[in-house]
Chain A
Amino acid sequence: MKDTVCTVCPKGCEVKVEIVDGKITLVEGNGCDKGKEFAIGEFTCPKRVVTSTVKIDGGDMLPVRTDRAIKKELIFSVMKKIKSVKVFTKVKTGDIIIQNVDGEGANLVSARSLDD
């Protein structure tokens, strides 16, 4: 039995999953269907939202985030791309900093607005 905590809503249900011969045979503890989906995803193709910072030219750091969860195994290659980028202009929260940062359609967006 493996367990995880669902992060879809604030309830944070503890979901247990039984895996036999690489296949999921039982899911329990989920408070709803989204939780069941989350738990299955967690043990078949785990994904994470990546949050980091990007250098502002002549300034401090700009907080950034992927606009959706990306495959866990792609995290470090995404981090490499983030390190290679600098921001030169004004940005608004949600502006795309790196398009398709994971190669599967997720974008890296700004997490705050900058007026200069």
Chain B
Amino acid sequence: MIKYDIGIIGGGPAGMAAAISAYKNGAKNVAIFERDTRLGGVLWQCIHNGFGLTRFKENLTGPEYSERFYDEVKALPIKIYTETMVLSFSEGVITAMNKSEGIFDVEVGAIILAMGSRERSRGALTVQGERPAGVFSAGTAQRYMNIKGYSVGKKAVIVGSGDIGLIMARRLTLEGTKVEAVCEIMPFSSGLRRNIIQCLEDFDIPLYLSHTVTEIKGKDRVEGVVIAKVDENKNAIPGTEFEIDCDTILYSVGLVPENELTKDAGVELSPRTRGAVVDQFRETDMSGVFSCGNVLHVHDLVDFVSEEAETAGKWAASYALSGKREKKFAFTEPGQGVGYTLPQRIDVTDDKPFKIYFRVRAEKRDATLRLIKNGEVVREIKKSRVAPGEMEYVSFIPKGLNEGDTLTVEVI
């Protein structure tokens, strides 16, 4: 059986950064398993800019950002499998499949999960109507337009005001499709404020907060939508319905980490992040299996993905070369105002500082962030503005933290 120090599942931005980091940290035999025809993941279709502001202090498009890592991966002796599907993994083994080798096993010193996320679909939302052509997930429409050069329709309504929906509102408009409206079921948008400005306000595209599409009209092709206001339980308020004529609907209603393989392998997943439970080194509860990027928790900025992947790569290399370490865990918990914290557990035998990432449940101004250890406030920080659509972090040093302790992050 072929053996690699590190087997990386997924060759997008997380997989590439993890591979480079693992190599630079001493793992000389690194392999990436990618199911698409090339590395780069979803970045190739993200032709808009806004990438790399933190990492490179430049404002890059997705392809430009991706190419920085792609070039570095190609320059190193990293084994790249493309058009190769991983079927399963367990401690020390990855089973994959491709045209030339059929189904094959590889032995690995450590595994890094970097499979990214997929989009939630209209089907998951149970919207009334037939099944006319013209209903796309925003990412599919993005791929059709930006990779293939197709127009997806003439008049569109977008459901969901997260960043992907906002970016596509602008993209469609620039390419001649009239975007009639963006609907958002929550009373606030989860997208970055700069995207609201540059994608909606720039083009006078109306944003209907606390609204959703309740019915799709049309049999063979979309003919229109019925939009209604919703109450605080997200139920349509009768009498508030209005119709918009359109031939295209884009759904941008959330990303879901793609953890089928992870679940099958028996790795513990968190229902809050829908990704693996990890420690500050991004190791899961399965020895030698690490996770990073969108498959671990959905990110807003790829700069953070690269940083996280480098952490996973470094410690996966350490595991592959030096073996398993005995760890003792304390735990993080989301408190008031916080949706999740990551890492969910902290190895207290190590005292290196690290970042605790979290997301708040609602937009707040002049908020107070508190770190609470076993019921006692250990740190308080003022934050001028926090929002669910913008992942936050707080730096932390695990000194004085003991096994079994709970560290709660609250934002009020």
Contacts and interface: CB of A to CB of B under 8 A. Distances in A.
Interface residues of B, number: 31
B149 A93 contact: no
A53 B194 contact: no
Contact of A61 (B59, B66, B146, B193): B146
Which of A7, A51, A75, A113 has its CB near the most chain B CB atoms (within 10 A)? Answer: A51
A27 B303 CA distance: 30
SS class of chain B's interface: helix, strand, loop or mixed?
helix
Contacts of A113: 67
Contact of B47 (A51, A55, A76): A51
Interface stretch (B48-56, B114-122, B220-228, B324-332): B48-56
Interface string B134-176: 0000000000011111000000000000000000000000110
B202 A63 contact: no
Contacts of A76: 174
A10 to B, nearest CB: 4
Contacts of B303: 10
B202 A48 contact: yes
Contacts of B59: 7, 49
A32 to B, nearest CB: 14
A5 B192 CA distance: 10
B174 A111 contact: no
Interface in B281-325: 301, 303
Contact of B148 (A10, A50, A60, A93): A60
Contacts of A64: 47
A12 B47 contact: no
Contact of B67 (A4, A5, A93): A93
Interface in A64-110: 64-65, 72, 75-76, 79, 93
Contacts of B148: 60-61
Contacts of A112: 44, 63-64, 66-67
A81 B303 CA distance: 32
Given A48-B202, A75-B174, A112-B64, A65 B146 contact: no
B234 interface: no
B146 A14 contact: no
B199 to A, nearest CB: 11
Nearest to B55: A10
A9 interface: yes
Interface of B: 44, 47-50, 53-54, 57, 59, 61-64, 66-67, 145-149, 174-175, 192-194, 197-198, 202, 301, 303, 385
16 contacts: A5-B192, A5-B193, A10-B54, A10-B301, A12-B192, A12-B193, A50-B174, A53-B47, A53-B146, A60-B147, A61-B148, A65-B64, A76-B174, A93-B64, A111-B47, A112-B66
